[in-house]
Chain A
Amino acid sequence: MRAAGRLLALFVLTLLATNAASAGEPVLTQSHFAKLLQHGPWPARWERDPSNRVSGEPDAIALGRDLFFSPKLSGNGKISCATCHHPGRGWTDRLPQGLGTTELDRNTQSLLNVRLNRWFGWDGQNDNLWAQSIRPLLDPKEMDAGAGHVVNVVRNDPQFSKAYRTVFGTAPDTANLELTLVNVGKAMAAFQETIVTGRTPFDAFRDAVADGDEKAAKDYPIAAKRGAALFFGRGNCTFCHTGPNFTNGEFQDAGVPYFLGPGRVDKGRYDGIGKLKASRLTLAGSYTDDPAKTGAWKVQGVRALHRNFGEFKVPSLRNLTQTAPYMHNGSLATLEDVVRHYSEIDVERLHADGTAVLAPLHLNEREIQDLVAFLQSLSTQ
C-alpha cells in the first residue's frame, strides 16, 4: 500500500506537469485523481441476482429475449418491450416522453447496465428487476396487458410454452397467474442483465492513472481532462454521479419542473415509495428465490420523507450519448443543454434546508464544452 501510494503521488505530479505543459494551465489535482479512481474499474464484475433463480441461465436469457421483443404480450398485440427500449437507440426510444398506448409523463430510461440498479424506474417503485419487468406489461398506458393475457400468450404460443417449461420445469400455470407472471418477469430480467456497456475513453484514462501509465494517460483529450477537473472538482457532480456506474443509486431533486399541467404533479420518489410499500413483489416478499432475502433491507428500511416529493433517480452517465433526451421528463435535448441547466440552476426551487448540494456554477462557454467533452468520454466509441 505504501509503495502504491508513492507511485500514485509520483504519477500525479508527472501528470500535473504534463497537463500544465500541454495546455498552459494545471488541469487535474491530486484531489481530482483520488475521486477519479473511485469511478472504476470497468466493466463491473458479473454477479447473478440471488432473488432470481434463473439469473444467468442461458435458456432463461433466450426466453427472456424472445419475450422482450414480442408484441404479443401487449394488450393490443402491437407493442413490445423493445418498442420503447430499442437496442438501436441505446435501449430507449429517443423521445422526450415514452409512448405506450398513449403518451407518458416520463422519459424512457435506458436499460444499459440495468442490472446494477438498486432501485428501478425514475421513482424507484421496484427494488428488483423482475418486478420492474412486469410493471409496464400491466400499465394501461404502456402495454396494457392483464396478467391473464400475458400468461395465456406464454401458455398458448408453442415456442414460449416449450421454453418456459425448459426454464422453470413446469407448464405456464393459468391457475396461479401471479406466480407465472413473476416467472415471465424473471426470464425477461435474465435477458436484460446481459445488456451491458463496454470500456470507454474515460476507463482507459482512469486505468492509466491507476497503473501509472503516463503514455496511455496522454491519449485522453485535454478538453475531457479539463471537463474532468470540473466534474470531480468545482461542479460537485460526484455528489450524486459517483462510483464505476456514475450514480449513487439514489434520488435527487435536480431542479427540473415536476408539474405536468393544471392539477397534475409528478411526485417522483414520493409516489414511488408508496407503490413500493404496497407491492408484494419486493425482495422482502415471497417471490424472491433467495432464502436469505438479500436486499430486503431496502424496502424494510427506506424512509418516506417530505423531500422525496419531486425527487427522481440519479441516472448512470455511462453511454449517455446514446440516451438523449435527458432528465426524468426528457425536457433537455442535448448534453450541452444539461450542462447549461446545472450551470444556471435555480436554487430557489430546490428542497434544501442546509448547504445546497446543487448551486449555479456559472460556467463560461469553454467550460461548458469541456464538461460536455468529459461526458462524451463516458460512452463507448
Chain B
Amino acid sequence: MIRSLITAALGLGLATSTAWAGACGAPETWHTLTPEDEAAFKAALSLGPNMPTVGAPFDVELKVCSSDTRPLDRLSVDATMPAHKHGMNYQPQLSKTGDGAYKATGFLFHMPGHWKITVSVYSDGAPSHLSMDINVP
C-alpha cells in the first residue's frame, strides 16, 4: 500500500511483474530478473535505496546463479530504451564482489520513459539474457 502510494505520488513504476522476490539468495527487496529464453540462470538486482532519476548516475548490485550445474564464464550488464532504440551513453563497469555477487557502476538514464536493464550470462559460449523493465518518470 505504501509503495503504491509512493509510486502514484512520484510517478515511479517498475514494470516487471516479479519485483521484490529474491533470487540467488538475494534479499527479498531485490528485483528478480525475467529470463528471456531458457532459464539456465537466475539473477536478482538491487538499485539501492532510491529509484533512478533522469540524469543522475547510480550503481547496481547483482546476484547471479545457475539453475543447474552450468559454469558462468562471463557476464555483462547494460540498459536500453526499446522505444527509442538506443542505450545509455555509458558502459557500466562490472566488478565481482563475492561468490555470484557483482557490482555494476556508472549507470545513467538520460531520458525519462521505459528502460530495460539486461544481464547477459555466458556459459560455454552461449548467452542467456535476463532483464527487468523500469519506468523512469
Q: CB distance A301 to B86 under 8 Å?
A: no
List chain B residues, Cβ under 8 A from A2.
Answer: 2, 5
Q: Would you list which residues of chain A between 1 and 31 have a CB under 8 Å from chain B?
A: 1-2, 4-5, 8, 31
Q: Which of A45-53, A237-245, A327-335 forms contacts with chain B? A: A237-245
Q: Would you list which residues of chain B between 36 and 77 have a CB under 8 Å from chain A?
A: 53-57
Which of A239, A248, A307 interacts with B86 by CB under 8 Å?
A307
- Bound complex: CA A143 to CA B97 (Å): 48
- Bound complex: CA A35 to CA B8 (Å): 12
List chain B residues, Cβ under 8 A from A301.
Answer: 90-93, 105-106
Which of B55, B85, B106 interacts with A250 by CB under 8 Å?
B55
Q: CB distance B83 to A354 under 8 Å?
A: yes
The smallest C-beta distance from B121 to any residue of chain A, in angstroms, reads: 21
List chain B residues, Cβ under 8 A from A249.
Answer: 55, 110
Q: CB distance A357 to B9 under 8 Å?
A: no
The smallest C-beta distance from B49 to any residue of chain A, in angstroms, reads: 14
Which of B84, B85, B106 interacts with A297 by CB under 8 Å?
B106
A102 interfacial contact with B, CB 8 Å: no
- Bound complex: CA A238 to CA B2 (Å): 27
- Bound complex: CA A31 to CA B5 (Å): 15
Q: CB distance B85 to A5 under 8 Å?
A: no
B contact patch SS:
loop
Which of B55, B57, B83 interacts with A355 by CB under 8 Å?
B83
Contact (A242, B112) CB under 8 Å given A31-B11, A297-B93:
yes
- Bound complex: CA A302 to CA B93 (Å): 10
A352 interfacial contact with B, CB 8 Å: yes
A303 interfacial contact with B, CB 8 Å: yes
The smallest C-beta distance from B86 to any residue of chain A, in angstroms, reads: 7
Q: CB distance B86 to A353 under 8 Å?
A: yes
Residue of A nearest to B108 (CB): A250
- Bound complex: CA A236 to CA B84 (Å): 14
List chain B residues, Cβ under 8 A from A31.
Answer: 11
- Bound complex: CA A115 to CA B39 (Å): 47
Residue of B nearest to A34 (CB): B11
List chain B residues, Cβ under 8 A from A35.
Answer: 11, 137
List chain A residues, Cβ under 8 A from B137.
Answer: 34-35, 38
- The number of residues on chain A lying at the interface, defined by a beta carbon within 8 Å of a beta carbon of chain B, is 32
A247 interfacial contact with B, CB 8 Å: yes
Q: CB distance A8 to B89 under 8 Å?
A: no
B111 interfacial contact with A, CB 8 Å: yes
B10 interfacial contact with A, CB 8 Å: yes
B6 interfacial contact with A, CB 8 Å: yes
Q: CB distance A300 to B106 under 8 Å?
A: yes
A305 interfacial contact with B, CB 8 Å: yes
Q: Would you list which residues of chain A between 62 and 105 have a CB under 8 Å from chain B?
A: none
List chain B residues, Cβ under 8 A from A366.
Answer: none
Q: CB distance B83 to A1 under 8 Å?
A: no
Q: CB distance A357 to B8 under 8 Å?
A: no
Q: CB distance B83 to A251 under 8 Å?
A: no
Q: CB distance B106 to A239 under 8 Å?
A: no
Q: CB distance B9 to A4 under 8 Å?
A: yes
Centre residue among B9, B11, B81 by max chain A CB count within 10 A: B9
Q: When each residue 328-351 of chain A gets 1 if its CB lies under 8 Å from chain B and 0 otherwise, what string results?
A: 000000000000000000000000
Residue of B nearest to A7 (CB): B9
Q: CB distance A297 to B57 under 8 Å?
A: yes
- Bound complex: CA A16 to CA B30 (Å): 38
Q: CB distance A248 to B5 under 8 Å?
A: no
Complex A-B: 14 CB contacts under 8 Å: A1-B6, A243-B55, A247-B55, A250-B110, A297-B93, A297-B106, A300-B93, A301-B91, A301-B106, A302-B89, A302-B90, A353-B86, A355-B83, A355-B85
Q: A-B pairs with the 10 shortest C-beta distances?
A: A354-B85, A248-B55, A301-B106, A301-B90, A297-B106, A5-B9, A353-B85, A250-B110, A34-B11, A354-B84
Residues of A participating in the B interface, judged by any CB pair closer than 8 Å: 1-2, 4-5, 8, 31, 34-35, 38, 238-240, 242-243, 247-251, 297-298, 300-303, 305, 307, 352-355, 357
Residues of B participating in the A interface, judged by any CB pair closer than 8 Å: 2, 5-6, 8-11, 53-57, 81-93, 105-106, 108, 110-113, 137
Given pairs A251-B89, A297-B106, 18 additional interface contacts (CB within 8 A) = A1-B5, A1-B9, A2-B2, A4-B9, A34-B11, A35-B11, A38-B54, A238-B112, A242-B54, A243-B56, A250-B108, A250-B110, A297-B105, A300-B93, A301-B91, A302-B91, A303-B88, A354-B83
